[in-house]
Amino acid sequence: MPRLFARLIHVVALGLLLAACSHVAPQSQPAKPPVPPVEAPPPAAAPLPPVVSAPLPTPPPTPAVTPPLPGSVPGRSATVALLVPLSGPSAPLGAALFNAAQMALFEMADNAFNLLPFDSKGTADGAVAAVQQALGQHADIIIGPLFSTEAKAAAPLARQAGVAMVSFTADSTAAGSGVFALGFLPGPQAQRVADYARSQSLSRLAILAPSNDYGRTVVDYLSNAAPQQGITLAGLEYYDAAAADVGSALKRLVKIDPKRGADVGFDALILPDEGQRLKVVAAALSTAGVDPAKVRILGTMLWDDGHVGSESALVGAWYPSPPQGSHTDFDNRYSRAFGTHPPRLASLGYDATALAAVLARHVPRDFSVAALTNPTGFAGVDGIFRLKGDGTAERGYAIREVQASGPDKEIAPAPASFQAAY
């Protein structure tokens, strides 16, 4: 059993022991006649989902009653529902999100904060059933579910009940009207790295994207945002995400003008892809006439896995990333608690639960859309973030440069506040 659960059992046992010791034995009274037998109680109701509560602080000898922590609401606990896949193919990721949420519970919450986990099963039907159960337990706020299909299916129920839902999806189309997408949205990532390239006098941007949902999301976002940021969209081509050959797309994109020498018509090229497909695209660049010494290659957070540098054509490329310091610290704490390193998305479970814990300590407690969309934002494991009225999450990203070996180098820090963003 992980030490974090052991700590929870120890805290609950200690609380029961202290409660037992606090009762004063009554003075002796005259004997009373025997109590008549009582009819057997009705069958017990169906068991409630397990409740994870924040640890109770050990009370001092005096006063006899421990005062509430600053910001907590006496006599009224906060009920926070956590919807994650605890069964099915995505159960390991769901368990990691639950583990991270428990870390935030122990580190951030007071003793009036209760976390109720519900199994969304990673499916639309499972998420709907989980939301119904959460609302049946009078949840004040819903954290999760994980996937876009789950969030879209569960959102109407949460909206109808007037309960805010902070999902982990990165699909902005699932958000809005009290439902939030806390995930790392690909469009703003692309804009961040494109803005940085422009700040380095690389204002002519080309896009070579896979013809899938991710690629089209990046293209649509940059097509709208680039002109407003002084960026010229100098070229755009899609390639078949299932094809191994991207040569024809590159030929259409690269327009070498003999009058301009080796100028291909753009200063920076963004490749919103990953894995083996990204390596195939990168390897084909030089054949098409794209010189990495003259054209800066850009990426998105898909590159944030430490393996991009194995492709020589991508060494020196830039991509956005959350600040590494706080995430590394989270990774180390998680590893000590659970004996394994967390998956990349586990930090979302921590940040969402920590956000709920902060709001739960307000007097009066406030999980409204207005409180969630505080323009100042919040400091999380992955840097600053704030939830916007349209349901999306705005984040502060650093810029990293791909290295041939060792960790990638941070060349531009993430902002410390939204007032000082970039």
- Taking residue 225's Cβ as centre, other Cβ atoms within 10 Å add up to 17
Q: Which residues pair with 371 in a beta bridge?
A: none
Task: Say what the pLDDT of residue 292 is.
Answer: 85
Q: What are φ and ψ of residue 386, in 5° steps?
A: -145, 145
For the entire predicted model, the pTM comes to 0.80
For 77, 133, 137, the CA distances from 47, given in Å and listed in that order, are: 20, 12, 12
Q: Are 217 and 273 in contact (CB under 8 A)?
A: no
For 64, 140, 164, 165, 266, the CA distances from 160, given in Å and listed in that order, are: 44, 14, 10, 12, 49
Secondary structure class of 325 (helix, strand, coil): helix
Go through 184-193 and write b for each residue having 16 or more CB atoms within 10 A of its CB, e for each that does not. Answer: bbbbbbbbbb
Question: What are the pLDDT digits (tens) for 37-90?
Answer: 434 444 444 444 455 544 433 333 323 332 333 333 444 589 999 999 999 999
Residue 165 half-sphere exposure, CB side, CA atoms within 13 Å? 35
Of 54, 59, 61, residue with least CA distance to 80: 54
Task: Say what the pLDDT of residue 21 is.
Answer: 33
Average pLDDT over residues 264-279: 94
- Taking residue 56's Cβ as centre, other Cβ atoms within 10 Å add up to 15
Residue found under tokens 């609950």: 12
Q: Which residues does 410 contact at the CB level (< 8 Å), separation at least 6?
A: 321, 323, 324, 398, 399, 400, 401
Confidence of residue 259 (pLDDT cuts 50, 70, 90): low
Architecture in CATH for domain 186-321+400-420: 3-Layer(aba) Sandwich (3.40)
Q: Which residue has the higher pLDDT, 279 or 305?
A: 279
Question: What are the pLDDT digits (tens) for 40-51?
Answer: 444 444 444 455
Task: Say what the pLDDT of residue 77 is.
Answer: 85
Considering the four listed CATH numbers 3.90.1580.10, 3.30.1280.10, 3.40.50.2300, 3.30.70.270, the one that applies to the domain covering 71-184+322-391 is: 3.40.50.2300
Q: Is the dihedral of CA 280, 285, 287, 291 positive or negative?
A: negative
Q: Give percent above pLDDT 70 in the chain.
A: 79
Question: What are the pLDDT digits (tens) for 227-249?
Answer: 888 999 999 999 998 877 788 99
User: Could you give the residue range(s) of every CATH 3.40.50.2300 domain in the chain?
Assistant: 71-184+322-391, 186-321+400-420
| Max CA separation in the chain (angstroms) | 112
Question: What are the pLDDT digits (tens) for 355-409?
Answer: 999 999 888 889 999 999 999 999 999 999 999 999 999 999 999 999 998 899 9
Tell how strand 398-401 and strand 409-412 pair up: antiparallel
Task: Say what the pLDDT of residue 33 is.
Answer: 43
Tell how strand 179-181 and strand 165-167 pair up: parallel
For 30, 185, 393, the CA distances from 307, given in Å and listed in that order, are: 80, 21, 27
- Taking residue 310's Cβ as centre, other Cβ atoms within 10 Å add up to 12
